[in-house]
Structure formats: structure tokens, C-alpha cells
Structure 1
């Protein structure tokens, strides 16, 4: 018979000192964060895929984990001038979404002075990075409301200006650039609003719906029990809101949204206060998260986000291709965190605010950015 010699068992204090020494000596990056119980990196039960490298830029990093805070590595050239905000609970205006993913708002964020409105021009550092991204095979992903189309009280009237529509149509026909719209709206609404032929690739309901350029659909569905809870909440609110439900309450495939744009501030606050406590309670269960957006509040099923969309798109890119994401809302921060260090994140806002995007531009500067992208892409196509 073989005899097995067991190693001497270390004391708890020795193990603690050993672990602390190893942690202190090893650099911590998003890809090195481990599950403390199993010692393995996880991302919602999915395998973390290697990120494509950004040519001439910083090395690729794995996407941030979703169930544990991530300490980020020092700022790269694409995330410079960034600073981590104080730990702890953020004010509601900054918190964005409440639920299992609240910690993402504590990541590396660019901060600039909010005292003045942003100019309609592009700063030289953004133009320099834009040349590195757009002058070759690339992905251009954009949010719709607030980024391409101005907000409207009547959501069905939120259409792009003619200039932006023409630029998007030209970019869609420019071979080096892959254009993708990523929105919280259902795809059926995007199809009616975009007025583009052919339509670009579309993601709706924060990534739960997908329409490929050839018209094929590739949608995701929430768990049956979660969908039943969402359906029950919608039925309850329809009864409570009465006549206001048709105009203010929007039911999507994986979320409920309460819209208050266009009503008096006091009335909007009262509407939100009438649903917020119950939605906070539902968000305490990890099936849901509660998000405040520009003009309302939304109860979303967890499991899909704009960050997931960007992660999938980055994996699909051919080797050497680059990417950019433009968005305006708190729900776009997931995408900014995903693309940080792997491409160009641009926040579209009237005034600066805390964001994980590398740059912030005014809504009036979106046309200038798309026009410069189109010029660079056409030059790349000719060369």
C-alpha cells in the first residue's frame, strides 16, 4: 500500500499573513480580481473572453466583473484625467441604477468642472484618438435618445435631425465602419424612428433584443419567474395609474419604465414616489435593478445591459479592429466601463458630469464627430 504524507497544516494567522503578502506584491487589474470563495474569476456565470488589442494603444484588459467591486489599474492614454470618486453610497443623481450592479458607479470616472456648458467643437485630444479609431476597420456604437435624437415629451416624435441621419446613412455604406445602435427602446420603435434604408444593426431594451442588418432577430428572454413578476407589477400599476398608465407606463420585454417628461416637476416627483419604494424592494432581489434615467425611472430585469452588448460586439470584431461608443445616460455607463482601455468612450451631455467615458462632448458636437469619422473612414477605404 502507498502511504500519503499530508503537509503540515498552517495556522489561520499564518495563512492570513501569507495571503496579505501575496496581495500586496501582486498588481490588481480588472482581469486579476478573483472570486474570494472559489478562487476563480466569474462574470454572471459566463466565461470571460480575452479582449482584442487596441492598435498602438494600451494592452487589452478583460471586462470588469459584475458581482464584486473592481479596483482599476492606473489610467491608460484613453482614460486619462480620471479619478475614483469617494467610496460609499452615491447621491441618487449619480447612482443611476440600484441593485446588484450598483458598485459599477464607483469605478474609474472622468471628472470635469460642471460650471459651464460644453462647446460645439471637438478638442484636439479627442480628434487625435478619433484618428486612431476611425482610420481603419472599426465599430461605431451609439445610443439613440439624447445622443442621436433630442428628447421629446411625446416619445414617438423623437427623431434624428436630417444632418445626423444623412451622416449615419453615409457611415453605414462606408465599408471600414460597422454602425450599431444600442438603445433602451424596443426594436420595433427604433425601426419606426430611424428612417434609414438599410437599417443598421440594432440592439433594443438594453441588449435583450437584437436585429441583425439582414433583418434576422436574436433576442433574449428573462427567466419565466422574473417575467411573471414583471407582468404582475405592470398589471398592478395599470390599475393604480388609471388613465395615466397608457401615456406614462411603458412595458418592454424585460423592463417597465415610468415616463415623467413633459409633466410639472411636482407631478413627476409624485408619480415616481408612488412606485419607487416598491421598485426598490423588488431591486433588492437580484432579479431586478432600478434605474433613474433622463425623464423617468425604470425597473429592469438583470442579466443584460449595454455593457454586455459592447462586450459581445468587441469579441465579434476582427483582429486589429477598433471601437467607439457614444451615449448620454446613466445606462450608458455600463458600456463606457466595458470599452475603457479597449476603445473610445464619449459621453454626450450639455454639461460635464462624472462618467467612465474618456471624453465628454455637447449634443451639438455629435455631427462634427460623425463628420470627422466619415472623412477618416473614406480616406481609409481609398488607401
Structure 2
């Protein structure tokens, strides 16, 4: 493990070597969904829903075109996506329901160790207006607890790890908070009943003072925008605009950019009704997935079957890793067609729970047999 951590530290780079001063490159690198060459082409007549075109000419500086920013922020919201029944049908052909394809999924995993990776918001809990009230249901918690007893399981979220743990309240699994920049293993109890937390990796520790500093500035700068909420996720920051009037989105984006222009070591990305501020290190949910596979001893194994379920753009990094590795698959949680590297889809957290339940039932039956 030590040698692997040392290698990771070299790869991600903590100092100025990985600082990206070209803000346009940073944003395009962070937001644009990269589609693997292995992905089948869209059928004739199907319009791929992507933010690439929207962001092609985006400039994050004082002269940025506000309309482009607003278009990009709209694209992060499923409620603004327009698709015809034909588009939906074509998309479903390429990303069929994981519930409907359950038997095929199980066939593909036979003889292999299934490893489960789960996003939190929009996957295990519904998307809500107040991010502090994104509670998962007791039924979902019970299902995830059973899942973790059957398969190695990790929660991978953009949220602060401690906050996700308070939502989930399960000690049996791995937690990767702050987009994978804060990873902890399952809690272990000693014979004296003392609980030991096993923190595995925190590749962005040196950024903590800067993150706290920017958090205070963003809170002060955005307080004039009704509905805006700045969330400190320890190694990254989230500016939620779900409750902000759409007419004020451009102004909010300008406020955030005005603060970040003094911090070239931080980059700006977007998610579902949220602007994300992260350190410019080579680390994301995909890198976290690879790290956890390595930690579990499955880095170079052919008999491993990772399954990642998520709903946001930040989950695309993990979907792409699985597609490029040719192992396991990603499941996108969405009611609307989206450009994605995931292989399958589920429409909402309730379907996620149904899928997880079926996995648990299949595992229990196979163990009994």
C-alpha cells in the first residue's frame, strides 16, 4: 500500500507542476464529457445531448459572454433538456434499463467479484432543494447495508465525507468524499470495543487552508443572490443555484468567477444545479475508483466486476474508467437522455434500490445454492 500511495502522490502532483493558469482549458477539461471511442455511434436522426458545443467558446474572465454561461447552467438541469419520444427510444437502445437487463448483467459477472460504487445525491437519495436535507430513506439504508454484506461497497460523492457518513450512517463500507479526495475504509472494532477509522488517502490536504479562505469569500460575495448556497465539502466547494431565479444565474456565475480569478490553483466545474470548485490536481471519481480497486487488491485482476451507479457529470469520470478498462459497467440515473459513458440506466433512486435489492437476493440465493 505504501508504494502505491507514493506512486499516486507522484502522479497527481501537489505543487505548481499541475497548476493550470488557462481558465478556459480548465473549464473545458473539467466539464466536457469525454466519450470513449468504444462507444457505439448514435443512430440516424438522434441528436446527442452534450455540453461540448455550449462550452466550446466559453471564456472565464471579465469579458465572458453571460448567455453562454446561462446556457451551460441550464444544460446541467434535467428539467431543461428537450427530447422527443424518438430521441428517448434511441437513447434507451444504447443505455437500456439495468432492471430489464438484470439477467444479462448477472451472466456477465459470473465467476467474478462484484465491487459496488454508489454516488449519493440523486442516486441513493432524491435531489432536494436544500442540500442539507438530502436524506436517504430507511428502506434504502437497509438495502445498502445488506449490499455491503454481500459485496465490497463504496459511497463516492462530491460531498464532504463526514456529511455523507451522517446521511448514510453505515460503518461497513468505504467512503470517498470530496469527489474522491477524502477516502476512508470501513470502521473496525477492537476487542475493547474501540472504533478505529481507517483513513486511506487525502491527496489534496495542502489545499485545505485555501479552500477555507475561498469558502468565506464566496459566502460573503454570493449573499446578495437570493437562494444561493455555498457548501464547504472540505477538499472542494459547491455553490448551489437550485433555488436561485434563473434570471440571476449569470450574475451568480460572475460572482463566483470574480473570487476564483485570484486562485489559479482551483478549477471550476458544473454539476446538477451546482458550481463546483476543486483543486487542480489529477484526481476525480474515476481516479478514486481505481484507487479503491487497488486498495482492495483488484488493480490488475481479470476476475473483478466493478459496478458504478451515479447521476451527475462528475460520475462520468468513473463511467469512462470502466469503459476504458473493459471491466464492469456504469449505470446512469436519469429520466432524460444524456450523453454518457454509462452502459445502462435507471430512472430514479427507487429504481436504484430495486436493482440493489435484486443483486442482494441473487447473491443470497447463489450462496445458499
* Count of residue correspondences: 296
The change in CA–CA distance for 1:73 and 1:87 in structure 2 (over 3 A counts) is same
Identify the match of residue 328 of structure 2 among 332, 343, 349: 343
The alignment status of 1:302 with 2:288, answered yes or no, reads no
The change in CA–CA distance for 1:147 and 1:190 in structure 2 (over 3 A counts) is same
Confirm or deny: 8 A CA contact 1:310 1:339 kept in the other structure. Answer: no
> RMSD between aligned alpha carbons?
4.0
- 1:96-115 aligned within 5 A: 114-115=83-84
- In the TM superposition, residue 332 of structure 1 has moved relative to its aligned partner by 0.4
Q: TM-score scaled by structure 2?
A: 0.68
Q: Deviations over 1:32-68 (max 9, x none)?
A: xxxxxxxxxx999539xxxxxxxxxxxxxxxxxx9xx
**What 5-or-longer segments of structure 1 have no aligned partner?**
1-41, 48-65, 99-112
Identify the match of residue 254 of structure 2 among 248, 273, 283: 273
Aligned to 2:134: 158
- In the TM superposition, residue 244 of structure 1 has moved relative to its aligned partner by 6.9
- 1:202-281 aligned within 5 A: 202-214=175-187, 215-222=197-204, 224=206, 226-242=207-223, 248-276=229-257, 279=260, 281=261
Aligned to 1:178: 152
- In the TM superposition, residue 208 of structure 1 has moved relative to its aligned partner by 1.1
State how far apart, in whole Å, the 1-side matches of 2:35 and 2:157 are: 28
State how far apart, in whole Å, the 2-side matches of 1:241 and 1:152 are: 20
Confirm or deny: 8 A CA contact 1:200 1:212 kept in the other structure. Answer: yes
Q: Matched residue of 2:152: which SS?
A: strand
Aligned to 2:79: none
State how far apart, in whole Å, the 1-side matches of 2:227 and 2:338 are: 33
Q: Which has the larger radius of gyration?
A: 1
Q: Matched residue of 1:91: which SS?
A: helix
Q: TM-score scaled by structure 1?
A: 0.65
State how far apart, in whole Å, the 1-side matches of 2:310 and 2:236 are: 20
The change in CA–CA distance for 1:317 and 1:350 in structure 2 (over 3 A counts) is farther
Q: Matched residue of 1:325: which SS?
A: strand
Q: Deviations over 1:97-125 (max 9, x none)?
A: x9xxxxxxxxxxxxxx9435799964644
Confirm or deny: 8 A CA contact 1:140 1:179 kept in the other structure. Answer: yes
Aligned to 1:291: 269
Confirm or deny: 8 A CA contact 1:325 1:346 kept in the other structure. Answer: yes
Aligned to 2:347: 362
Aligned to 1:313: 292
State how far apart, in whole Å, the 1-side matches of 2:106 and 2:254 are: 42
Identify the match of residue 142 of structure 1 among 103, 118, 123: 118
